[in-house]
Structure formats: structure tokens, C-alpha cells
Amino acid sequence: MIDKLNAHALHLENVSVVRWGHSILSNVSVKVAPGACCAVLGPNGSGKSTLLAVLSGYTWPVSKKCRITDCGLSIADSGLGANPQLGDSETKMLLERLYARYNHRVFVPPDPLQFVYRYTDRRDMEIAAFLASGLAYGRVRQIERSLTQLLGRMDNAPFRFTSHFDDLGRAKLRSFKHRFTTGDDISDLLALFRRVFDDYGSLESFFAQGYHSEDDTVVPALDRFCDSLCQMHGASVPAGLNYLLANPSRGSASKRLNLFLRWMVRGDEVDLGLWKGIDQAKLIVPMDVHMSRLCRILGLHDDKTISLSTARKVTGAFAQMNPGDPVKYDFALSRIGILEDCHGRPHPACASCELRRICAMRAGHLESM
């Protein structure tokens, strides 16, 4: 909404711009009367171009009040600083470009999904996918090493190993460790999966027991899935198993479980699409610190911490652009962090990044992300 000011056609009040920790403008105030002509003078590096960029809407300040009568620009006050957002149509076009650029199997490595492609039996794929998503925390190379070692201990035959899982299998996994997930944690999970495959034939059939088509999202089904497995284990569920079964009812964003569901439910050049009975429109975006930062750059949320609420907000924003497939852009967006090594700081890859313009607008905010 554009403020109509009687006294001034242009009004800047206490505008500041920070780029990568350096102050470019500091508390600049300008008032220009209607019909007046002004020149911006100053030595090189004084911020003239940045001031004009603020006036044009190309750069957003971190503290501000900026009003230009009848020119379509109004930056409102807020506790977070300006929150530049693209329109839905422009955001969708940007995301479609990212999808066209990155959503190809050649870009999957080093994503843990690469380990699932090794198998063709859907039972192997379900187990490998759950383990790969379950260990998808920490450094990328560490995840790759851990999955290579874990699947090797399982004789690279996940279903056969699981279907015959016993004390000998538990002993083979005992010394395994990925950060704070131990071999005993994996053994507890595989013992449950053995019972699931014996009774239901697949993880999909077991998950479907708690999936109700009337639910708005898959979150209630994930709750039931985790609760059922924990009940199957018994009264005292170890902390490590609880971590692998990060029930969203406990407030977790359940990034790894939602990642598993994306792989299983969606079907395209990247995602597997093995589970045909789950509506992909009900999926939730797998939300971690990198996806959270990128979605903040896009103006899809402004949460300081990551929670299920954050994941729901971002999913809702994506659903407005693509209601039938709200997690479509997850893989492509995450490539910016994984392949281009984006951490919110200047990087050679910035020159060709699709997010470059809006990232520059929010440069003053990135240091708090």
C-alpha cells in the first residue's frame, strides 16, 4: 500500500544498508518536495548507487522508512527489517527455472538418494531409502561414508538382511556409528522392520494403515506410523530409535521422515514414486537449516527457529503456486546449498545463481540466518 504524503513526493527516514557485514548507508534521511529536482553528489564509495538502488526497489535496507508517492514503492516498518518478496507468479517462474536446471538424476550425487538407486527390488528400495533419509544429517561426505559402510555391513542386500535379522545381524552392526546414531539404534529399527515386512509385506502397506485421505497433510499419518512402531517396540523406547522416528507430534519438523516420503510418493526424474496410494499434494517440505535459509530469502517465512510450523508455512506457500505438488521444488532448491556450496556468503557461484537478485535485496539479513 502506497502512503499518500501531502508534503513530500519522496521520503526516506533513517535508512541503513549493510552488505556482508559492511555498512554502506547509515541512517540516511531524505525529503523531496513534489516537483523538485535533486542531484545525488558524493565521492566514490559514499553510497550514491546504493541510495538509488533503494529508491528503485532493487536493494532493500535493514532499517528504514521509505515512501515514494505515486511510484509504487513503500517499505513498511517491521521488527525484522524489510522483507522483500517476489510476487507469486515471479516466484513460481524462478522456481520452475531452478527445477528445469537441477531436477535431473545427474545432480543427485552426493544426495543420499543415490544409494537407493542401487536397488531394483522395491523392498530393498524402501529399507535403503528409510536408512538413507534417517542418516541425512551432518556433513554430506560423512553421510556418504556412513551409508556405504552401513549397507556394506548389510551385505548390500537390505531386505534379505532385514528379513533374517537376528542376534548375528545385530552383532554385525554393533560397532557402526554415524554421529550420534549407533549400530544398536539401527538394529532396533531393523528388528521392527522385520516384523512389519512379515505382517504387511512392505513399509507402504504399514504406513497406509494410518493414512486417511481426509487428512489435510501426511502429518497425522506420520504420527501414527511412528507411534505404531514405538508401540511395537515396547514401553521403553531408546532415545536413538526415537531420533530415527522423529514424530511430528513432538514438535519436530521431521525433516528426514518428510524427505523419505518425498522420495517414496513423488515420481519424476529424481524422486522414485513407489508409493501410489499417498496423495503427493499432502506432502510436507523437508525443512532443515539450509532449506529454511533459502525459503527466508524467497520471503516464504520469517521464523528464527525451524519447527513443524515452519515446514507447514513453507509448504503452504508452495501449495499456493503448485497445489497438486507442493514439494516439487525441494530437490532443486536444496541443490543450491549442496552443489553450489551456498552458505549465505559471497561465493563464485553467486554470479549464475537464480536467487542472486533477491538474495542481494536481503543481504543485510543473511548474517542472522
Q: The C-alpha cell of 351 is what?
A: 554470479
Instruction: Say if residue 153 is in the same domain as residue 212.
Output: yes
Domain membership of residue 51 as a residue range: 10-82
Instruction: Please tell me the predicted confidence (pLDDT) of residue 250.
Output: 85
User: Per the domain annotation, does 304 fall within a domain?
Assistant: yes
**Cell 529508491 sits on residue:** 55
Instruction: Say if residue 159 is in the same domain as residue 267.
Output: yes
| Domain final residue, candidates 39, 60, 82 | 82
Instruction: Please tell me the predicted confidence (pLDDT) of residue 353.
Output: 79
Q: The C-alpha cell of 146 is what?
A: 556412513
What count of other Cβ atoms lies within 10 Å of the Cβ of residue 70?
Answer: 10
Number of domains in the chain: 2
Instruction: Say if residue 293 is in the same domain as residue 335.
Output: yes
User: Per the domain annotation, does 3 fall within a domain?
Assistant: no
Instruction: Please tell me the predicted confidence (pLDDT) of residue 364.
Output: 45
Report the DSSP beta bridge partners of residue 32.
Answer: 10
Q: What is the pLDDT along the chain (369 residues), one digit of tens a residue?
A: 334 444 566 777 777 776 544 577 788 888 888 878 888 888 877 878 778 766 655 455 554 455 544 443 444 433 333 344 555 678 888 899 999 999 999 999 999 999 999 999 999 999 999 999 999 999 999 999 999 999 999 999 999 999 999 999 999 999 999 999 999 999 999 999 999 999 999 999 999 999 999 999 999 999 999 999 999 998 899 999 999 999 998 888 999 999 999 999 999 999 999 999 999 999 999 999 989 989 988 888 889 899 999 999 999 999 999 999 999 999 999 998 787 777 767 777 777 777 877 776 665 443 333
Strand spans (E) along the chain:
10-19, 22-32, 66-68, 73-75, 177-178, 181-182
Instruction: Say if residue 64 is in the same domain as residue 204.
Output: no
**CB 334 within 8 Å of CB 262:** no
User: Per the domain annotation, does 338 fall within a domain?
Assistant: yes
Instruction: Say if residue 126 is in the same domain as residue 26.
Output: no
Instruction: Say if residue 173 is in the same domain as residue 294.
Output: yes
Q: Report cis status (omega within 30 of 0) of the bond before 346.
A: no
Backbone angles phi, psi at 105, to 5 degrees: -60, -30
| Domain final residue, candidates 29, 62, 82 | 82
**Cell 481426509 sits on residue:** 214
DSSP secondary structure letters along 324-335: T-TTTTHHHHHH
Instruction: Please tell me the predicted confidence (pLDDT) of residue 70.
Output: 41
Instruction: Please tell me the predicted confidence (pLDDT) of residue 4.
Output: 44
Instruction: Say if residue 63 is in the same domain as residue 184.
Output: no
pTM for the predicted model, two decimal places: 0.76
Instruction: Please tell me the predicted confidence (pLDDT) of residue 328.
Output: 98
Instruction: Say if residue 99 is in the same domain as residue 62.
Output: no
Instruction: Say if residue 170 is in the same domain as residue 302.
Output: yes
**Cell 516466484 sits on residue:** 91
| Domain final residue, candidates 53, 82, 111 | 82
Residues 3-37 as b/e (b if ≥16 CB within 10 A, e otherwise) read eeeeebbbbbeebbbbbeeeebbeebebeeeeeee
Q: The C-alpha cell of 126 is what?
A: 524402501
Instruction: Say if residue 138 is in the same domain as residue 258.
Output: yes
